[in-house]
Amino acid sequence: MATEVTLPQLGESVTEGTVTGWLVSVGDRVEADQPLFELSSDKIDTEVPAPASGVVTDIKVDVDETVEVGTVVAMIGDEVEHKAAGAGGAAAQPGADQPSPASGQAVSQPPAAEPTPAAPAQRGEPGPTSQPPPSPAPGQTAGSDGHSAPPLASPLVRRIAAEKGIDPLTVTGSGEGGRVTRADIEAAATAPATPQAPPGEAGEAPPTGGRSPAPVGAGQREHTEGLSRIRQRIASKMMESLQSSAQLTTVQDVDVTSLMETRARIAQTFKDHEGVSLSPFAFLCRAAVIAVRQHPKINAVADWEAGTVTYRDYVNLGIAVDTEKGLIVPNVKGADDLSLAGMARAIRQVADKARGAAQLEMDDIQGGTFTMTNTGSVGVLADTPILNYPEVAVLGTGAIRKRPAVVEVDGSDAIAVRHVMYLSLTYDHRLVDGADAARFVSDVKHLAETTDWDAEIGY
Residues catalogued as catalytic: 429, 433
Q: Which long-range contacts (CB under 8 A, 24 or more apart) does 271-275 make?
A: 273/341, 273/459, 274/341, 274/344, 274/345, 275/345
Task: Give the Cα separation of 89 and 93 in Å (integer).
Answer: 9
Contacts of 48 (CB under 8 A, 6+ apart): 5, 7, 8, 35, 36, 37, 38, 39
Contacts for 288 with CB less than 8 Å, ≥ 6 apart: 317, 370, 372, 395, 444
In terms of residues, how long is the chain? 459
Diameter of the chain measured on Cα atoms: 110
Strand pairing class (370-373; 317-319): parallel
DSSP-H helix ranges across 58-127: 79-87
Give alpha helix (H) positions in 245-319.
257-274, 280-293
Nearest to 386 by CA among 291, 251, 249: 249
Query: Helix (H, G, I), strand (E, B), or coil: what is residue 449?
Result: helix
- E strand or H helix that includes residue 242: helix 229-244
Q: Are 417 and 401 in contact (CB under 8 A)?
A: no
Position 456, amino acid: E
Q: How far apart are CA 165 and CA 191, in angstroms?
A: 13
What is the distance between the alpha carbons of residues 420 and 406, in angstroms, rounded to a whole number?
A: 12
Provide the angle, in degrees to the nearest 10, between the axes of the packed helices 434-450 and 280-293: 130
Q: Is the peptide bond prior to 128 cis by the omega test (within 30 degrees of 0)?
A: no
Closest CA to 56 of 82, 34, 32, 38: 82
Rg of the chain taking only CA atoms, in angstroms: 30
Residues facing residue 331 across a β-bridge: 318
Categorise residue 15: left if φ over 0, alpha if ψ from -120 to 50, beta otherwise: alpha
